[in-house]
Amino acid sequence: MTIDSILAGQPHAIVERDGVRHTLLGTAHVSKASVDAVCAAIDAGGFDAIAVELDAQRLQALTDPEALAKLDLVKVIRDGKVALFAANLGLAAYQRRLAEQLGIEPGAELKAAATEAQARGVPLHLIDRDVGTTFRRVSAGLGWWARAKLGAGLAASLFVSEDVGEDEIEKLKQGDMLESSFGEFAKDSPELYARLIDERDQYMAAKLRATPGNAKTVLAVVGAGHLQGLARYLREDTRDPDALCVELDFVAKKRRIPWFTIVFTTLILCGIGWGFWHGGFALGTDVLKQWVLWTVGMTAVGALLAGANPLSLLAGAVSAPFKPFRPGMPSGMFAALVEVRMRKPAYGDFLALRDDAQTLGGWYRNRVTRVVLVFMLTCFGTIAGEWLAGLRIIGKLMH
């Protein structure tokens, strides 16, 4: 079978630029036919290089079943990447549900392309942007309310166990795995779409233009949802590819001055000081007690809901009243670090992550996901306690 006859039945585009012939093969991430088409194209094409819509992290997840077992959970907590880790678990759970429902692992055609390239000694190029960078740019480009809606949607998706609907599967056949994972929010948010799809089209086109070596014929295996945009940017984009990749990898750091925390902390301190100054020792002590009791109490409630070890609960609760004075070190961090040590995840917990992340019961049963729950619910408890304490303090001072 010739390469032309193989491509005739598949979404594809051929772009010649700077002496390189790029064959872009559009695939469905949940289709056995796409796996067969990729293997046939590599067999027939005689390509000098293979490019795939993957980054190093996703390639490892596809090709190394024990990749999650190598995770340093303590480092994830200390580096403040628990939310990103939870989002990746949600994506993994979503993919596992698809695999069980359809009988094929999502991204199997990308895995096949990578495996075939390595087996034949053909240079393999990973052209997609790091998924963590994409998540961070998505978050940075949304407003507070949009981020809250997105976070709530992702959190809810972690515990959905029913089958993926037919409409969603059809979208996956023509679209993108990450876009589908974000659900309806992606469709209704132009900012989210730009960072999930259009930016990655630009990024992958730049990566193809910057592909090192002497390759003259390149097969690029990408999701069908990227085919049109990728082909357009590959033909028309005149920006320097290396500079463009740096630009699209950039995530603006949060403001150095945490104004909200400063203002909130100042108001609390002023309220306590006002209580002592105008109401004497009794009122001042009462105001201070409200702050401590509500922050400690609600943090403990959050940790209890997460099923935290008693010492983890204690660590989070004791640190809660001091949270405004140490931005960047939430109470959930202290609770999670203690949880890791008191209930050290076993090797089997890491191996079972993808399965356990599909159900609420699995999140409580697995010691890795339990740590994530302890972190998140302890933090939510502290936040609730701060606001309730603030309202109680205002009420005390107004009487």
The last residue of a domain, from among 249, 283, 306 = 249
Classify residue 155: in a domain, yes or no. Answer: yes
Classify residue 255: in a domain, yes or no. Answer: no
Residue 257, classified by CB atoms within 10 Å of its CB into exposed (0-12), middle (13-18) or buried (19+), is exposed
Classify residue 254: in a domain, yes or no. Answer: no
The last residue of a domain, from among 184, 219, 249 = 249
pLDDT digits (tens, 9 = 90+) for 297-354: 999 999 999 999 999 999 999 999 988 777 668 899 999 999 999 998 887 888 787 7
Residue 215, classified by CB atoms within 10 Å of its CB into exposed (0-12), middle (13-18) or buried (19+), is buried
Q: Does residue 242 share a domain with residue 189?
A: yes
Classify residue 122: in a domain, yes or no. Answer: yes
Q: Does residue 237 share a domain with residue 384?
A: no
Q: Does residue 303 share a domain with residue 236?
A: no
The count of other CB atoms within 10 Å of the CB of residue 161 is 11
pTM: 0.72
The mean pLDDT value of the chain amounts to 81
Q: How far apart are CA 127 and CA 145, in angstroms?
A: 32
Classify residue 203: in a domain, yes or no. Answer: yes
pLDDT band at 382 (very low <50, low <70, confident <90, very high): very high
Classify residue 196: in a domain, yes or no. Answer: yes
Tell me, letter by letter, the H, E, C secondary structure of 230-258. Answer: HHHHHHHCCCCHHHHHHHHHCCCCCCCCC
Q: Does residue 152 share a domain with residue 85?
A: yes
Q: Does residue 167 share a domain with residue 22?
A: yes
The last residue of a domain, from among 249, 280, 304 = 249
Q: Does residue 54 share a domain with residue 12?
A: yes
Residue 332, classified by CB atoms within 10 Å of its CB into exposed (0-12), middle (13-18) or buried (19+), is buried
Q: Does residue 199 share a domain with residue 88?
A: yes
pLDDT digits (tens, 9 = 90+) for 184-237: 455 556 666 677 788 999 999 999 998 767 889 999 999 888 889 999 999 999
Nearest CA to 71 out of 90, 86, 54 is that of: 86
The Cα-based distances of 121 to 50, 118, 378 in angstroms read: 10, 5, 50
The count of other CB atoms within 10 Å of the CB of residue 238 is 5
Structural domain of 266: 260-398
pLDDT digits (tens, 9 = 90+) for 29-83: 777 888 888 999 998 878 999 999 999 988 888 887 677 667 788 888 888 888 7
